[in-house]
Structure 1
Amino acid sequence: LSKNPAAIDLLKENPDKIDWELLSGNPAAIELLKENPDRINWLMLSGNPAAIQILKENQNKINWLMLSKNPAIFKPIRDQAIVDILYML
């Protein structure tokens, strides 16, 4: 359920059912993850294509191997946040 982008509202209503590891990889869960930064699984978040801004703000927590597999870093580089992260590689 936590991997399902369509389940975010249901998970907000039932936070005891959240698998935070799986949720950290869910592109639709960014706001919920921002509200619960202590629950983030940084390995999974590093591969989340919607998490570039959170990763930029927490570069010391990035799993660089997972980030290298994140499809968002290979899209046309128009976003300065992506450029900044790629520079760190």
Structure 2
Amino acid sequence: MNPVRRGLSLLAALRTAVVSMPRRLLERTWAVLTDDGVRPALLFLIAMALAAASFGTFLVRGGGDPTRLEIGLQFGSLGIVFYMSLRQAGTAPR
């Protein structure tokens, strides 16, 4: 199967799954994701997951030079932490 067609079918399946969810659950999930108090924790968890994925791929491969995937995961984690620090610096009391 063509990778693009497979990706589109997965997106369609995801859309169908989201549409079939109860509206109240979707509203509660959206409220959690847009809450300013929860956002730093979620971003930190995403950054930690990216770093752990990079470390996991390093261990699975058995070491050696880092691959593009590992470097990309590390830069993704670094970018999220940098974004969080800029966002927190902008909201600090003066």
Per the TM superposition, whether the score is higher than 0.5 is: no
Structure with more of its chain in helix, by fraction: 2
Shorter-chain TM-score tier: under 0.3
TM-score by length of 1: 0.27
Higher relative contact order at CA 8 Å, sep ≥6: structure 1 or structure 2? Answer: 2
Kindly name which structure, 1 or 2, has the bigger radius of gyration based on alpha carbons. Answer: 2
